[in-house]
Structure 1
Amino acid sequence: MVNCRISSDLKECALQLWDHRWELKDISEALGISGRSCYCWRQIFEEFSTPMKPPSPLIGRTRTITRALLMAVEDLFATDSDLFLDEVCTWLAVEYDIIVSTSSLSRNLKNAGLTCKIL
């Protein structure tokens, strides 16, 4: 069973059989799994109290423009609404030491709901 998803029930069953003194060879034959998988599941179970690893919290790239920066840009537009995007990019570079392209800034402002019509 190479590269297939194994249910948590089957993993728990294998670990329980192993706890009841079954041989890994017998568990492997009965459930159609590898003996090495049992060792991995045991290690995961000891760490997380479940044979399934929790999903990784690190998904995707980290955001360059955070919500706090978007609020600062919104405050900047509140004081001077005639700014162009390249001027805001320069302001972010000087004030916050963040280099961002005008297209990225435009996309982030649009996703945050900060359009020129609203500002």
Structure 2
Amino acid sequence: MPPHNVSDDLKRQAVHLFLGGLPRAEVATLMGVKIRSLFNWAKLVRDTGDVVTKATVPRGRPRVLTTAILHHLADLLKAYPTLYIDEILQWLAIYHDTPISLTQLCRNLHDANLTYKVVQRAPLERDAEDQLVWKKMIMSKYRASQL
């Protein structure tokens, strides 16, 4: 049988039939699953009380900057793209009570794609007047076939 996802209700029904005394080969044929899967689901029911595993606990170190803080920081950088890193560090310490090292901040900014290049480009792309000047300059220097 090809691998496929089996719904939780089908797993519960199969385990109910299996533990109810129906032969394992018959249950597997009726439900269209492997016999080994029946054993695994029955073991899960014995161990946890259900056929599905519980969500695992997140691994690793907890993040210093939460998603909400990163969104707030992204909004701040879009509004004020010329902020210095030390000003961002002070802002985080004062407004979010999150003292963070320079290295951690740089890593978080990079992971959130808030690099200097991206942040500096955003206000330039928003200014319609500058876009028109740039388009005129490009069109005066190049033909359409060159672009």
Smaller-chain TM-score bracket: 0.5 to 0.7
Residue matched to 2:40? 40
**2:96 equivalent to 1:92:** no
User: Which structure has the higher relative contact order (CA within 8 Å, separation 6+)?
Assistant: 1
Contact 2:64 2:100 in 1 (8 A): no
Residue matched to 2:106? 102
Structure 2 residues without counterparts, runs of 5 or longer: 70-82, 91-98, 115-147
Contact 1:85 1:105 in 2 (8 A): no
- Flag the 1:28–1:103 CA change in 2: closer, same or farther, 3 A: closer
- Give me the whole-angstrom Cα distance separating, in 1, the residues matched to 2:2 and 2:56: 22
- Give me the whole-angstrom Cα distance separating, in 2, the residues matched to 1:86 and 1:103: 14
Structure number with greater Rg is: 2
Residue matched to 1:58? 58
Q: Please report how far the alpha carbon of residue 6 of structure 1 lies from its aligned counterpart in structure 2 after TM superposition.
A: 0.7
> For this pair of structures, how many residues does the alignment match?
89
What is the DSSP-based 3-state SS (H/G/I as helix, E as strand, rest coil) of the residue aligned with 2:104?
coil
- Give me the whole-angstrom Cα distance separating, in 2, the residues matched to 1:106 and 1:36: 46
4+ long deviations beyond 6 Å: none
Q: Please report how far the alpha carbon of residue 33 of structure 1 lies from its aligned counterpart in structure 2 after TM superposition.
A: 0.6
Q: Give % identity.
A: 17
- Flag the 1:106–1:8 CA change in 2: closer, same or farther, 3 A: closer
Q: Please report how far the alpha carbon of residue 99 of structure 1 lies from its aligned counterpart in structure 2 after TM superposition.
A: 3.8
Contact 2:12 2:51 in 1 (8 A): yes
Q: Over the residues paired in the alignment, what is the CA RMSD in angstroms?
A: 3.5
Q: Which has the higher helix share?
A: 2
Letter of the 1:46 partner, please give it.
R
What is the DSSP-based 3-state SS (H/G/I as helix, E as strand, rest coil) of the residue aligned with 1:92?
coil
- Give me the whole-angstrom Cα distance separating, in 2, the residues matched to 1:18 and 1:50: 14
- Flag the 1:34–1:54 CA change in 2: closer, same or farther, 3 A: same
- Give me the whole-angstrom Cα distance separating, in 2, the residues matched to 1:64 and 1:21: 50
- Give me the whole-angstrom Cα distance separating, in 1, the residues matched to 2:40 and 2:111: 43
Residue matched to 1:75? none
Deviations 1:74-114 (A, max 9, x none): xxxxxxxxx9424739x734xxxx84143625988x9xxxx
